[in-house]
Every structure is written in C-alpha cells, then in structure tokens.
Amino acid sequence: DAGVIQSPRHEVTEMGQEVTLRCKPISGHNSLFWYRQTMMRGLELLIYFNNNVPIDDSGMPEDRFSAKMPNASFSTLKIQPSEPRDSAVYFCASSPDRSSYEQYFGPGTRLTVT
Amino acid sequence: DAKTTQPPSMDCAEGRAANLPCNHSTISGNEYVYWYRQIHSQGPQYIIHGLKNNETNEMASLIITEDRKSSTLILPHATLRDTAVYYCIVCGFGNEKLTFGTGTRLTIIP
C-alpha cells in the first residue's frame, strides 16, 4: 500500500492567494484527519471526517479555512485568502474506522505564505 | 481527555533500552494511553497503546502502573533511527481526537 498521499509536498504562495492542499487516504479507510503543525502551537487537529462526512471541525481556525471530502479517496483543505500566519506543515491522516486506535499519517505539506 | 506530562528531552546510548515516562494522573477509567513518535520531517507514527495491562509489540513495550496514573514506553534496544519526538496521548477508545502535547525529544547517542 502506498500509504497516505499528500500533494503538493511544498507550497510557497503570496499572502492573499488561495491555497489548496490535497490528500488521498489509504484505500478502505473510513476516517480522515487534517492536522497543522507549527513550532508555536505544535500538532493540532483541524477537522476530521468519517465516511466522507465532517464530524468535528472545531479545530478549524477561522472561516478562511475549509475542507471537503467529495469521495472516499480524496480530500482537500483550502485556505482563502492565505496569510503569513498560516505557514505550517499540514498533515493528513487516515484510519480504518472510528473505533480504530491507529492513525496513519501522510508526509505532510509544508506551506509558506510570504 | 486527560492531560499528559512528559520530560522535554532525553538521551539514550545506542543499544541500550530507552525508557520514556509519561504522567497522566487525571486519566479516567475508559481512557487509553497511546504512544506516537515523529521522526524529523515525517508525519507521526503510531507505536503502541494500552488500557491497563502491559503491552508489547515489535516496536516497543508499554508499562502502565496499577493506578494508571503513569506509564513508561520502553524501546528495548535503541538505534539511531529511534531518534524522534515521542508523544504520550490519553483519550477514550474510539475517540479519534488525538491531542498531541509537546512530547519528549529522544536522542540516541552513538
């Protein structure tokens, strides 16, 4: 299995631009998570889906952030408009189901907003 | 979810056992202890989890005290590749909201 796939691996954009991060979970996994990691705040859960339905988005920092999961094999995290404080590494993770104890993380997308 | 406390950093000699402590004094009866690690520039990786019994897998052993207020992750024969940040997390089984604290930065010394 290829594991969780994220793209792009690196993104550099200017303030005000729209940014879209992509994630392909492991085939057969029903839960998908988006995390953000910064030096100041550590690793934070932004939102998670189960069977393509958003379950908890309380970690989404503000309305500029949105996430979708149109099908079981694809999810996006969009930031519009982006700001320098959004610079971070964004991780996507998936797990087999809601009762699973293990989350499988992707390699992350390093976002830099200038 | 219960809060966890870990030392910020530890060193261990290569080939020796690395023992990483975690305090979780407010853990409730239905909460599990999970351990993940994050090697530099990679996503976190699940290691092991337990409720009250000691657990062992191919990566590590987890020792949970009888009162469940603390636990120790043991890497029996540490290698340089075990250098990473190790996170101890407490949450209910089936609760997918893992809360990562600051973890312990483990450095394996050649």
- For each of chain B's 110 residues, which pLDDT tens digit applies? 668 999 999 999 999 999 999 999 999 888 999 999 999 989 999 999 999 989 999 999 999 999 999 999 999 999 999 999 999 999 887 667 788 999 999 999 99
Per-residue HEC secondary structure of B36-88 comes to: EEECCCCCCEEEEEECCCCEECCCCEEEECCCCCEEEEEECCCCHHHCEEEEE
Q: Is A57 on the interface with B (CB under 8 A)?
A: no
Q: Is the pLDDT of residue A48 over 80?
A: yes
Task: Give the closest-approach CA distance of B41 to chain A in angstroms.
Answer: 8
Comparing CA positions, the residue from B75, B85, B94 lying closest to residue B32 is: B94
Q: What are phi and psi of B33, to 5 degrees?
A: -105, 125
User: Searching chain A, which residue's CA lies closest to the CA of residue B49?
Assistant: A101
Using a CB–CB cutoff of 8 Å, tell me whether B79 touches chain A. no
Residue to mutate among B47, B49, B96, with most A CBs inside 10 A, is B96
Q: Which residues of A fall within a CB distance of 8 Å from B41?
A: 108
Chain B residue with CA closest to A98: the answer is B94
